[in-house]
Amino acid sequence: MGGDACHHGGEFRPSKYLPLPDSILPNPFAKSSSSPCPCSLFNDLLPGDDKTKPFFEISHLPDGKSVAHDYHEAVRTIWKVQEADAREEILVVMAHDDTLLDVVDFFLNEANGFVEKKCVREGRWGFFEGFREAVKH
């Protein structure tokens, strides 16, 4: 459980441990479809066209102000999340991630069995659904 380490999957995905793949399934724009989503749709949104850098970063102004209480610690925390997130047997869940509502059993249910239920695969790139208006598909 990542809690408030960050608030959007695009803050820690893609990463050097989990680069943006060529395609993803389930398709975030058509979840009931068996056709994968080509990740080339998102290339123009990647920072520096780098498939190993997250789409977003924590804001940090030259005067030291940031949305994070401790900017440098927040960045280190995201690096740790990225390393764990690349593993298939670890399900990273951040607070307020509503893209997982149809993927993971929530309170009052147990978190057990998420590997067998393929929750990592089903939810990992779900945040792309929010990019619908930013890409032409």
Q: How confident is the model at residue 42 (pLDDT cuts 50, 70, 90)?
A: very high
- Rounded mean pLDDT, 111-128: 89
Q: How confident is the model at residue 4 (pLDDT cuts 50, 70, 90)?
A: low
- Rounded mean pLDDT, 36-52: 93
Q: Give me 61's structure tokens.
A: 């102004």
Amino acid identity, position 75:
V
Does residue 39 carry a pLDDT above 70? yes
Phi, psi angles (nearest 5°) of residue 126: -60, -25
- pLDDT value of position 63: 79
CA-based nearest residue to 77, from 19, 11, 125: 11
